[in-house]
Structure formats: C-alpha cells, structure tokens
Structure 1
Amino acid sequence: MLIHHPAMSRSTLTLGMEHLVRLPPFSNLLPPCLPSPSPTVPASQVPRLFREPYILSGYRPARQDWSCYFLSIFQRHNESLNVWTHLLAGPMLLLCWWANVQTLGFTLDLASLPLCVFLASSLTYLFFSVVAHLLQSHSERAHYFFFFMDYAGVAAYQYGSSLAHYFYTSEPAFRQSVAGLLFLPRAALLGWLSCAGCCLAKSRYQRPYPLRRKICQLVPTTLAYVLDVAPVAHRLVTVSWTQEPSLAFHALHIAAFLLAALFFSCPIPERFFPGRCDFLGQGHQLFHLFVSLCTVFQLQALYHDYARQRDSVVEVFGERQLWWACVTFPALFMCCILTALLTMRHVNKQLLGKQKKDS
C-alpha cells in the first residue's frame, strides 16, 4: 500500500517510477570475471569494410578479445537483431517439426530423408548467419571469413530446398518438362554458383560498392531460387488449393521470400531515415525476419507434402535416385566450403599486401 506524503512532490514520484522501470542491461548481469564488450561507436571509428549505408552508429569496435564478440549477443548494437532473428528461428523450426510429428506422424526411413536434409540445411544456414553477424566485427579477416561461410550455408539451404521440392511437391508433368529434366544437377550447380558469385563479389569489390557487385550476387542467387521454387510454382497453378493444405503455406513461403529479396536488394527504410534505423528497423533486419518466416512456412508446407507422399516416394523415384540426391548434399556443401576457403586465401594475400603498403 502506497502512502502519499504531503512533502513528496510529483517530480519525486516520477523520478522514482523511472528508477523502477529502468532495468540494467543484460550484459551487466554477467559474472564480473567475464570480459565486457566495449561501448558501440559511430561509423567513423570502424574500418570502411564494416560500414553499412545509412547506418551511422551502433558499431562494435574492432580488435577486441574474441569473447567480447561472443558476449555481445547480450549487447545492444546494430547487428543485435540480425543475430537474434536467426538465432530464434532455429528453435521455431524445431518446434514446428515436433508439432508436425505429433499431428502428421514421422518415420525415419528413405522416404523421409529429403525432408531431414531440408531441416539440416535450414539449421545450417541459420547457424552460419548467426556466427557471421556475431563475430564479423573482430577484424577484416574475420569479416570476410565468416561471411564466406555464411554464403556456403545459403547454398546448402538452396539445394536442400530443391531436394524437398522435387521429391515431395513436384507433379509428374513438371518432372517430364524441360525444367524438370536434370532438375537436381542444375540445382546443385546453381547453388554452388550462388556461393561462388557472392564470395567473388565480396572479395573483389570495395566500398562504396558498385552496381556490378549486387549483380554478381543477385544473378546466380536469383536463378537458383527460380529453379528451386519451380516445382512449387507449377503445383500452385495446376492443383486446387482447397484440396491441398500445403499450398497455402507454399504461397506464404514465396511471398515472404519476395519481401526478403526486396529488403536485401534495397537499403530501405534506412535510406530515407539515415541514422534512425541503426538499432531497429534497418532493411537487413527485415530481410532476416522475412527469410526466417519463409523457412518456417516452407517447412510446414513440405511436411504436409511429405505426409501426403511418404507411401509412394520410394516407388515413384526409386531408392537409387533418393540416395544419390541426398548424398550430393554434403558433397555440394563441401564444395562450397572449399570455394569459400580458396577465396579467403586470395583475400589474405590482399590484406597482407595492404598491411605492407600501409607500413
């Protein structure tokens, strides 16, 4: 029970309430033996490589101890939401998987292998994205290395999506069409080209980035996605939506991806509000949010497709094709990792030459 004292002014009460609601940062609750991340700094105090267009503050200083970047997961900086959107998407996917297992059932066998590969590829890209955005501020070498690994994770996700779409969503008419012939080999090739194109664009072009860099990134990535989603698009226009519960989720998955592509390609809304979206609302954060939603909708759709097709998948495609298709997933992933490491080797030579020139 609060007793209002006559001598207590309204301003005193206000200050008291502000003190009650002003909670300390989570990082202050960490044990004092752990290193504390340095306060964020404006763009002018970090290397040009780290600066994002229209993001003027909230950068973490370079060259701190590695543990500071790990602990910065609890710090407010301009990468915080990029980390947390994909960090939370992983448990959301697993929860969605568990809920579908309870309602639609699941058997770990050859018929379910493409679905398992899709889940693994989704968790892979989310993991590499979280690591990249959390640790890239350590140094220029770290920045390049972790984002190259991020591109490898995206390529793995693209091919994992292709596998699941082909074996669970595609119609016989699509598999016999021009787009369906050699669908999986082309999906693997475009997945690798997506990774290689992003690595090349990142390593070759310096800020301020020319339009050629965005083209080098987007062309192979767009081609890979158009091919990956082709079985879904064909099914959406040839099958009645009222008969298939998965089609609504497929439509949501495509819509979320298109919104993600928009925010990835254009620095909006920060372009119109420079400095006001440094911590919340920048385009890349929205890109992460819609990509996460895209993956959740996609898993929900594919699980329904799997439940519908699981009794006939092996009969329709054959054991050999299923095994070979799924074995190519780790092979593609290793090719992408190797591409990233070879590009990193070239970048290391560039950085070493730059250091010698500066000294």
Structure 2
Amino acid sequence: MSSAALERLSTLSLSVQQLVRLPRLLDALPSPPSQRGTVRASDVPSLFREPYILTGYRPVGQSWRYYLLSLFQRHNETLNVWTHLVAVPAVLLRFWALAGARGVTLDVASLPLALYVLSALTYLSCSVAAHLLQSHSELAHYTLFFLDYVGVCVYQYGCSLAHYFYSSERAWRDSQVGALFLPGAAFLGWLSCAGCCFAKFRYRRPYPLWRKVYQLIPTGLAYVLDISPVAHRLATGSWAEPALTFHALQVAFFLLAAFFFSCPVPERFLPGRCDIVGHGHQVFHVFLSLCTLCQLEAVFEDYLSCRDAVARVHGEGRLLLACGSFPVLVLCSALTAAALRRSVKRRLKVRQE
C-alpha cells in the first residue's frame, strides 16, 4: 500500500475514533426537562415507535424549539442525529483539505466531484433534520422523512456521477451496463425515493413485509447499478492503486450498513437495553458515515488520476448533460415527495373531521 493511502487511512481512523466516542460523550448530555422528559413507547402514537425500542421517546406535539434543543439531550434519537451531524463537517473539511492541497478548481472536469460532495452533504443534512424534528407532529414526521428519502436519492445519483466519470474503466463503459448506466441510475434513484415515500405513506405499524419490498428492492437495485463500475475495478484492477483500498472499504461499510438497516439487531434480542445507545439504526448511521468518508477518499484519488483526461474521454457535452440532469432528478424527487405529503394532509384532515 502506498504512503499516500496509509496517510489517508490514518486520517480516516481519526474520524472512526470520533464516531466511536459519541456514545461516551452522550453520558455528558442532560436528560430533557423533567416536566417534558422522555417517555415510554406506550406514551407516543404507534407512528413514532420503533420495534424493540421501549423507552427514550420525546413526547409528541412540543414546540419546534423543544426539538431543536433536544440535540443536546439524551433520548433514543440523539445518536441517530449526531452520527450524521458529525459527518457533515468531516466530509466538508476533508474535501476542502484535499481540494486545497491539490489545487482543484471548478471546471467541467470537476463538476461531477462537486455534485458528489454536495449530494453527500445533502443526504446527511436531511437525515439530521428528520431524526431531530420528526416528533413534532404526524405531518412533520411524514414530511421530514420524505425529505430524507429525497436526500438519499440525490446521494445515489451523486455517487453515480462520480463513479462513472472518475472510477470506471473503458471496458466497463463499453458494455451494455455502462451504456445504460447514467439514465438507469437517475431512474432507479427516483424510483427508490418514490418507493420509500409510498411505503411510508401506505403502511402503518405493525409494518407488513410489503413495506420492506417497496423500500429495499428499488434501493438495492440502485446500489447494485451505482457500484458496478467500482465492482468491475475491484475485480480487474491492480490493488496497488491507492483508490482501490478505499473503494473496498466503502463497499464493506455499505454492506454492514445495509444489514443493520434491514435487521433490528441487537435490540431484537435485547429489547429495552439498547434504547439510548446501541440499537441497529444507530449502527447503520455509523457505517454509512464511514462508507461516505471512504468513498470520498477513493473518488478524489480517482479524480486526481484522470482529471486532465475527463473532458477528452467523455466529452464536455456528455459531462454537462449528465450533471445537468442532477437538478432535474432533485426536482422530480421533490415533487414526488410533495405529492405524497399532500396525500398525508388529506388523510389527516379526514381523520380530524
């Protein structure tokens, strides 16, 4: 492994240590005020409950200020918020440091890189907002998680742009998968957003298997396609390349994240004992943040190795068209989420009449 890769692994290890210290730092945070402290699962509507999480819920219907201040208090969403909140400056500062050290300028060749970083910051920020504020009301809960799904869609396509223009090899791009990659990534990104929003709107607890089907199948297909140029590199490339170590790590961290997202462990086997620290969604957030940090290192290394040839190999027109589709996808996903939000409002209005 090259000295550059070792140096970046050392930098990544510092980020890992910061994430690992979060549960210990949580002990220093106060509990919410006693008059509006955390409550048990039976004290909040079923919409706000999580399987096997029995305590640590914030009461529903408090002021926005109450939920904003709960950022500095102990409850069962605290680590869900902080694991992604810490990752926002970590991604931004690491990119800033890398770009500054290597003299990166914003031009056609660096546009996919800029959109990738923007997409990462978007999904992390949307996740923070959803977990911090969702207990305000039913409408806020649906709205914020719909926004969270839009963020995931944006991140998927941002990854696709970076993987296609910087991390792919010509043999893969000349294949049928490579030819259909960008439009397929955009469609599956929107479909994953639509599927997650629909599943959230359509099904109530206890959730049936169909909810997972609507969520995981389009999201899983989007990931398989998005990671295909990297998988091809890992299978055929030389592991002497510094980027491949970080690509391998991003895949490993994502698969671990996917496992903890899909399976409620360890809380399934220890109900009530992982309410504040250690439940599966928190572990999912940690691994997803690590995946993003490794992916940033890998993508940046790939960008440096090919930036002088990106416009020549792909053509400026193709670069601009692919990057121009980014805001179009954001708009389509936002409109889909807005349409389902209107359906939620109608349902809530009917219930109140």
Distance 2:272 2:91 in 1: 33
Percent sequence identity is: 63
Matched-pair contact (CA < 8 Å) for 2:31–2:74: no
What is the distance in 2 between the residues matched to 1:341 and 1:99?
A: 37
Inter-partner Cα distance in structure 2 for 1:104 and 1:231: 25
RMSD over aligned Cα atoms: 1.5
Q: Deviations over 1:144-179 (max 9, x none)?
A: 000000000000000000000000011001011111
How far the C-alpha of 1:345 sits from its partner, in A, is 0.7
Q: Provide the TM-score with structure 2 as the length reference.
A: 0.90
Distance 1:335 1:73 in 2: 31
After TM superposition, give the deviation of residue 26 of structure 1 in Å: 5.2
Question: Which whole-Å deviations, capped at 9, do the CAs of 1:37-84 have from their partners, x for residues lacking one?
Answer: 821000011011000000000000011111101111011000000000
TM alignment of 1:340-359, pairs within 5 A: 340-356=337-353
The separation in 1 between residues aligned to 2:256 and 2:102, in whole angstroms, is 30
The counterpart of 1:235, out of the listed 224, 233, 236, is 233
Distance 1:25 1:177, change over 3 A: closer
Say if 1:37 and 1:68, in contact at 8 Å, map to a contact too.
no
Task: Name 1:109's counterpart in structure 2.
Answer: 107
SS of structure 1 residue aligned to 2:187: helix
Query: Which residue number corresponds to residue 83 of structure 1?
Result: 81
For the 8 Å contact 2:188–2:221, the answer to whether it is kept is yes
- 1:76-155 aligned at under 5 Å gives the runs 76-155=74-153
Aligned equivalents of 1:274, 1:139: Cα separation in 2: 26
SS of residue in 1 equivalent to 2:269: coil
1:274 aligns with 2:271: yes
Q: Which residue of 2 aligns with 1:64?
A: 62
For 1:326, the equivalent position in structure 2 comes to 323
Q: Secondary structure at the match of 1:330?
A: helix
Deviation at 1:350, TM superposition (A): 1.3
Alignment of 1:181 with 2:168, yes or no, is no
What letter corresponds to residue 327 of structure 2 in structure 1? Answer: P
Conserved? CA contact 1:37–1:72, under 8 Å: no
Q: Which runs of 5+ in 1 are unaligned?
A: 1-22, 29-34
Distance apart, 1:247 and its partner CA:
0.4
Residues 1:172 and 2:170 are matched in the alignment: yes
SS in 2 for 1:346: helix
Q: CA deviation at 1:299?
A: 0.5
Tell me the SS of whatever aligns to 2:109.
helix
Could you tell me how far apart the structure 1 residues matched to 2:221 and 2:287 are? 20
Distance 2:28 2:311 in 1: 57
Aligned length: 327
Q: TM-score, normalised by structure 1?
A: 0.89
Contact 2:157–2:185 (8 Å) recurs in 1:
yes
Question: What's the secondary structure of 2:62's corresponding residue?
Answer: coil
Q: Quick check: 1:198–1:217 contact (8 Å CA) kept in 2?
A: yes
Aligned partner of residue 110 in structure 1, secondary structure? coil
Counterpart residue number, 1:298: 295
> What is the CA distance between 1:95 and its match in structure 2?
2.2
Q: Which amino acid aligns with 2:325?
A: T
Unaligned runs of 5+ residues in structure 2 are 1-26
Q: Select the residue among 216, 219, 229 that pairs with 1:218.
A: 216
Give the deviation of 1:107 after TM superposition: 2.1
Give me the whole-angstrom Cα distance separating, in 2, the residues matched to 1:101 and 1:152. 27
- Answer whether contact 2:134 2:141 (CA < 8 A) is retained: yes
- Residue 245 of structure 1 pairs with residue 242 of structure 2: yes
Using the alignment, how far apart are the partners of 1:305 and 1:340 within structure 2?
Answer: 34
Tell me by how many angstroms 1:24 deviates: 7.5
Does the aligned pair in 2 maintain the 1:70–1:135 contact within 8 Å? yes
User: Aligned partners of 1:343 and 1:25: how far apart in 2?
Assistant: 36
Letter in 2 for 1:260: A
Higher helix share: 2
Larger radius of gyration between Structure 1 and Structure 2 = 1
Residue 355 of structure 1 deviates from its aligned partner by: 2.1
Distance, in Å, in 1 between the alignment partners of 2:300 and 2:203 is 41
CA distance in 2, matches of 1:298, 1:289: 14
C-alpha deviation, 1:36, in angstroms: 9.2
Task: State the Cα distance separating 1:106 from its structure 2 match.
Answer: 1.3
Q: Secondary structure at the match of 1:59?
A: coil
**Secondary structure of 2:207 counterpart:** coil
Asked whether the equivalents of residues 194 and 337 of structure 2 are also in contact (C-alpha less than 8 Å), the reply is: yes
Shift of the alpha carbon at 1:191?
0.2
Structure 2 Cα separation of the partners of residues 239 and 273 of structure 1:
43
* 4+ aligned runs moved over 4 Å, structure 1: 23-28
- Would the aligned equivalents of 2:92 and 2:121 in 1 still touch at CA under 8 Å? no
Question: Is residue 196–residue 336 contact of structure 1 (8 Å, CA) maintained in 2?
Answer: yes
